Amino acid sequence: MDFSFTEQEEAFRQELRAWLEANLPEGWLDGTFNMPDDEASFLRDWQRKLYEGGYAAIAWPKEYGGRDATLMEEIVYHQEMVRVKAPALINYVGIHMVGPTLMQIGTEEQKATYIPKILTGEEVWCQGYSEPNAGSDLAALQTSAVKDGDKWIINGQKVWTSFGHVADRCFLLARTNRYDKKHKGITAFLLDMNQEGVETRPIIQMDGKHDFNEVYLNNAVAYDADIVGAVDEGWRVSIALLMHERTGIGAQVFTLEQQFNDLVAVTKELEADGEPLMNDPFVQRTMVDLYARSRGSLLNYYRNLTKQLKKGHPGVEGSMDKLIVSEITKDLFAQAISLQGHQGVLWKEDAVVGGSYWQDNYLYSFGQTIGGGTSEIQKNTIAERILGLPKDMGR
Ligand SMILES: Cc1cc2nc3c(=O)[nH]c(=O)nc-3n(C[C@H](O)[C@H](O)[C@H](O)COP(=O)(O)OP(=O)(O)OC[C@H]3O[C@@H](n4cnc5c(N)ncnc54)[C@H](O)[C@@H]3O)c2cc1C
């Protein structure tokens, strides 16, 4: 495939650039912006703006409010968003995971009810998969849903629920039947988070931030109309959503590219014995290694995206992207900390370069190799489903 941009694609880039300049909050581009205390409201407003500008979900089909963007337009989009370090997408789960899954498997009623509000950010979503005893082994989940007329009464506990504290709805997996085989008897629900039976408790990470939560379900209620796919057949649905999740995470190749460029700037800025670190052959060797790996991951992502566009839905290749990108990201931030020598441990206002950007992201990078399925699980998936090797004995 030819990855040079046509005049039309460059025109799209200019249009998006102009839109970003006009719509990013004051101080965003020159680094003087201060995030308000109510970050969630700010991010909801930002998503609303993206929607009004036609940039909330450019890859979605036009009939669902997207732009039917081409692969190359998607690449331009990612490059430009990363270039300005655009605010985070608060409805990431809705746009990249729940929306595409509903388009693929949802009923017409579910599509009409939920998709428009996902796009505007009016309803923020979270993903209720993991439980205290079900992570990599997701099919071991124990949260139960019991039928009561047209209602389902749900009891159990979810954990690591990103956005749970700001979410209006949850794409939740619950056990509706206890068959011998644990992959059977699971059902996927579109749960209303704003009800008495749902309690969300924060989990504070080692970087001091609050991104995810424990969610307790005490007689929470869902309805027949909230079921995605068939009752007891939710495993297939859960995998469809995970494929979208991993492909979405793979798009971090663009962030990685930007982070690599930022790291190059750091190696030029920091000095040892009066010389920029970039002149040190050992630093050069690590930087070349990181460059080669991140460039390779970008090309691999392009290849997988091309395949996905041909098939119309993501495939198992998303596991490769997810694995490679998260592991290189971790190595890149470890290198950034190491370049700062003993000052690498200084954090927040004491940080010597980049205002704590490197320390924050270094701490966060460990989670990236876990969320969306750990690196070991991606390796198992690649081994079994891409390379055709024998199945993991543990499952
Ligand atoms: C940043 C972040 C965001 C998250 N967001 C969400 C969310 O929004 N919603 C949600 O439901 N969950 C979320 N999670 C949870 C995440 O999906 C789980 O943490 C993950 O699936 C691993 O499960 P676990 O933590 O139970 O670890 P375990 O499954 O207990 O794994 C422990 C260790 O054993 C290894 N291991 C386990 N099984 C195997 C095997 N078969 N072969 C080889 N090694 C194995 C793992 O790789 C890992 O190193 C998030 C996690 C993080 C870090």
Tens digits of residue pLDDT in 276-297:
999 999 999 999 999 999 999 9
Q: How far apart are CA 139 and CA 118, in angstroms?
A: 27
Quote the ligand 1 centre to 10 CA distance (angstroms). Answer: 40
Quote the ligand 1 centre to 258 CA distance (angstroms). Answer: 27
Is residue 333 a contact partner of residue 262, using CB atoms and an 8 Å limit? Answer: no
Residue ranges of domains in the chain: 7-90, 125-234, 252-386
Quote the ligand 1 centre to 186 CA distance (angstroms). Answer: 19
Mean pLDDT confidence for 295-323: 86
Is residue 186 a contact partner of residue 175, using CB atoms and an 8 Å limit? Answer: yes
Most confident of the following: 57-71, 143-157, 235-249, 347-361: 143-157
State whether the beta carbon of 161 lies less than 6 angstroms from ligand 1: yes
Query: From the alpha carbon of 164, which atom of ligand 1 is closest?
Result: 8
pLDDT at 2: 64
Summarize pLDDT for 256-265 with one digit per residue, the tens. Answer: 999 999 999 9
Query: From the alpha carbon of 373, which atom of ligand 1 is closest?
Result: 21
Does residue 390 or residue 395 have the better pLDDT? 390
For the record, the structure tokens of 111 come out as 């599509």
| pLDDT category of residue 1 using cuts at 50, 70 and 90 | low
Summarize pLDDT for 10-48 with one digit per residue, the tens. Answer: 999 999 999 999 999 999 999 899 999 999 999 999 999
Taking CA atoms only, the protein residue closest to ligand 1 atom 4 is 371
- Judged against a pLDDT cut of 80, whether residue 318 lies above it is answered with yes
Secondary structure of the chain as H, E, C letters = CCCCCCHHHHHHHHHHHHHHHHHCCCCCCCCCCCCCCCHHHHHHHHHHHHHHHCCCCCCCCHHHCCCCCCHHHHHHHHHHHHHCCCCCCCCHHHHHHHHHHHHHHCCHHHHHHHHHHHHHCCCCEEEECCECCECCCHHHCCCEEEEECCEEEEEEEEECCCCCCCCCEEEEEEECCCCCCCCCCEEEEEEECCCCCEEEEEECCCCCCCCEEEEEEEEEEEEHHHEECCCCEHHHHHHHHHHHHHHHHHCCHHHHHHHHHHHHHHHHHCEECCEEHHHCHHHHHHHHHHHHHHHHHHHHHHHHHHHHHHHCCCCCCHHHHHHHHHHHHHHHHHHHHHHCHHHHHCCHHHCCCHHHHHHHHHHHHHHHCCCCCCHHHHHHHHHHHHCCCCCCCCC
Quote the ligand 1 centre to 139 CA distance (angstroms). Answer: 13
Rg for the chain (alpha carbons), in Å? 22
| Catalytically annotated residue among 245, 317, 349, 384 | 245
Beta strands 144-148; 151-159: pairing state: antiparallel
DSSP 8-state symbol, 344: G
Does residue 387 or residue 354 have the better pLDDT? 387
Q: Indicate if 52 belongs to the active site.
A: no
Nearest to 328 by CA among 371, 291, 283, 280: 291
pLDDT at 83: 94
State whether the beta carbon of 160 lies less than 6 angstroms from ligand 1: yes
Summarize pLDDT for 171-198 with one digit per residue, the tens. Answer: 999 999 988 788 999 999 999 999 999 9
What DSSP string describes 205-236?
A: -TTS---EEEEEEEEEEEEGGGEESSTTBHHH
Taking CA atoms only, the protein residue closest to ligand 1 atom 44 is 376
As a whole number, the mean pLDDT across the chain is: 94
- Judged against a pLDDT cut of 90, whether residue 139 lies above it is answered with yes
State whether the beta carbon of 205 lies less than 6 angstroms from ligand 1: no
Q: How far apart are CA 304 and CA 321, in angstroms?
A: 8
Taking CA atoms only, the protein residue closest to ligand 1 atom 3 is 371
The position carrying tokens 């793979």 is 250
Does residue 74 or residue 309 have the better pLDDT? 74
The position carrying tokens 């630093």 is 283
pLDDT at 65: 94
Q: How far apart are CA 198 and CA 221, in angstroms?
A: 9
- Judged against a pLDDT cut of 70, whether residue 395 lies above it is answered with no
| pLDDT category of residue 313 using cuts at 50, 70 and 90 | confident
For the record, the structure tokens of 371 come out as 């969320």
125-234 fold: Butyryl-CoA Dehydrogenase, subunit A; domain 2 (2.40.110)
| pLDDT category of residue 314 using cuts at 50, 70 and 90 | confident
The position carrying tokens 């300005």 is 84
Percent of the chain surpassing pLDDT 90: 84
* Residue of 91, 127, 160, 389 to test ligand 1 pocket, by largest number of atoms within 8 Å of CB: 160
CATH number for the region 252-386 comes to 1.20.140.10
| pLDDT category of residue 394 using cuts at 50, 70 and 90 | low
pLDDT at 267: 96
State whether the beta carbon of 366 lies less than 6 angstroms from ligand 1: no
Specify the pTM: 0.94
Helix, strand, coil share of the chain (percent; to 5):
50, 15, 35
Summarize pLDDT for 193-203 with one digit per residue, the tens. Answer: 999 999 999 99
- Which stretch of 96-105, 186-195, 309-318, 371-380 has the lowest confidence by average pLDDT? 309-318
Question: How many Cα atoms within 13 Å fall on the side-chain side of residue 358?
Answer: 27
- Judged against a pLDDT cut of 90, whether residue 352 lies above it is answered with no
